[in-house]
Amino acid sequence: MSEKANTGRTTGNNLDPWYHHYAQRTAGLSASEVRALFAVASRPEVVSLAGGMPFVSALPQDLVTDSLNRVMRDLGPTALQYGSGQGVPALREQILEVMALEGIQGSADDVIVTTGSQHALELVTKLFIDPGDVVLAEGPSYVTAMVVFNSFQAEVDHVPMDEWGLIPEALREHIASLKAAGKTIKFLYTIPNFHNPAGVTLSWERRLEILEIAKQNDILVLEDNPYGLLYFDGPPPQALRSVESDGVVYLGTFSKTLAPGFRVGWALAPHAIREKLILANEAAILCPSSFSQLVISEYLKNADWKGQINTFRGVYRERKETMLSALSEHLPELSWTNPTGGFYVWLTLPAHLDSKAMLPRAVTELVAYTPGTAFYADGGGRQNIRLSFCYPTPESIRVGVRRLATVINGELDLLETFAGTGSLDAVRTPRNSFPPSDMH
């Protein structure tokens, strides 16, 4: 049937009979353009360097089953019942111990347990964003954060990064430009440690400067820190929240340091914001899972959880080193970040190559990655690729990078053939790349 949008414009055929009933904000819930390709990439013969799945097989099964058994034996009726909209008090106290490792001091009263930190991100966005409001975010930034911001009709303004993280002077310039244009800036969203997707870490000096800029301009800081404890050689600088408590909402999760299947994260918020977050949490889900919270609480109480995090660090360090070694062997002319923790390497392609357009060919060569366009709200990132080293085995990483090199070199050969100039040296030199080409 032919249909028209609310504006009266003909938009073509749509088979959804409820199309005209949806709220305007649902326009921000568009599917990823690479979603279908990732379905293909899930085949076992495809080496996926795309997803950021933790390597949960490094978690000894008995550490979890012992906690499960104790919960059901001693706390079964409570674990299977509704709970508090703020979260189990004992777990909130233990979360303070986890955050203390990054210099954060706080009260359990200001911790709100959520269904993963993704849920906390959505709740904060729901509380603060009206249509047309601006969210400042690093360029690039976390892909699903872009989906959340778009779903609440926010405008995302990307602030440039370099190997030391968000650039303070660029932040000042963006704030001034937005204010001059009459825009309303609601918060700065940042991933300061082992950034997703860029893999870089914000320096201590810049953390202090960025907090001062935010304070001067009355801008809330939303600090998302899923990877901070997964460092390789030494911990990152202390959290932004360790310096500033009134102007920072801190998001944490057990998905990367324990297992994502529990779906338990948290927010540490200034007191007034905390009250509204609890109400928003109750409105969305009534209460986070009592069962998952109590299992994690038992785990933190009885298991060597710090030792287990150290085990994860060793696993991811080995895989990162394998990936960088493979890149140096197969793609030495390119540039990439060298993360000191976390899950990701950010690769810069030669000029004129398009990571999004190249992905179908990569999948036919049995390797998958995430194109840089997924991490920008404005269509940027075509010259970049996010490579994840967290889940594949070291051998699979070597195979995957070798296949990726075949794809990239094949694309360059095609350009060489059709350029008709006899030389594409300029094509092989990254332009306007992040990071600088000497990073590896």
| Mean pLDDT within 410-415 | 90
pLDDT of residue 417: 84
What pLDDT, on a 0 to 100 scale, did the predictor assign at position 429?
A: 42
Asked if residue 198 lies in contact with residue 434, where contact means CB atoms within 8 angstroms, the answer is yes
Number of neighbours of residue 63 by Cβ within 10 angstroms: 15
* pLDDT exceeds cutoff 80 at 184: yes
Using the predicted structure, report yes or no on whether residue 426 has a pLDDT greater than 50: no
Of residues 55 and 42, which shows the higher confidence score? 55
Confidence at residue 23, expressed as pLDDT on a 0 to 100 scale: 84
Rounded-to-integer distance, Cα 126 and Cα 148, Å? 9
Q: What is the pLDDT of residue 80?
A: 94
Alpha-carbon distance 244 to 360, whole Å? 45
Structure tokens at 125: 């966005």
Q: Closest Cα to residue 126, out of 298, 277, 268?
A: 277
Amino acid at 261: G
* pLDDT at position 34: 54
Which of 89-93, 251-255, 410-414 is least confident? 410-414
pLDDT at 217 over 70: yes
Residue 435: its pLDDT value, please? Answer: 57
For the segment 360-383, what is each residue's pLDDT rounded down to a tens digit? 999 999 999 999 999 999 989 999
Query: How confident is the model at residue 33, as a pLDDT?
Result: 53
Domains and CATH numbers, the chain: 26-52+307-416 (3.90.1150.10), 61-303 (3.40.640.10)
For residue 25, which amino acid is it?
R
pLDDT value, residue 22: 83
Q: Which residue has the higher pLDDT, 195 or 31?
A: 195
Q: Summarize the confidence of residues 281-292 as an average pLDDT.
A: 94
Sorted by sequence, the CB contacts under 8 Å of residue 358 that are 6+ apart come out as: 371, 407, 408, 411
Query: Does residue 37 carry a pLDDT above 70?
Result: no
pLDDT recorded at residue 185: 98
Confidence of residue 24 (pLDDT cuts 50, 70, 90): confident
Report pLDDT digits (tens) over 109-135: 999 999 999 999 999 999 999 999 999
Residue 8 has pLDDT above 50, yes or no: no
Percent of the chain with pLDDT over 70: 89
What confidence tens digit (pLDDT) does each residue in 318-333 have? 999 999 999 999 999 9
- The reported pLDDT for the residue numbered 5 is 43
- The C-alpha angle 227, 307, 289, rounded to 5 degrees, equals 60
366: left (phi over 0), alpha (psi -120 to 50) or beta: left
Q: How confident is the model at residue 235 (pLDDT cuts 50, 70, 90)?
A: very high
Cβ atoms of residues 190 and 244 within 8 Å: no
Average pLDDT over residues 379-392: 95
Q: What CA–CA distance (Å, rounded) separates 166 from 157?
A: 13
| More confident of the two residues 224 and 421 | 224
Mean pLDDT of 80-96: 96
Q: How do residues 12-21 score in pLDDT, each as one tens digit?
A: 567 888 888 8
Lowest model confidence (mean pLDDT) among 182-191, 211-220, 257-266, 417-426? 417-426
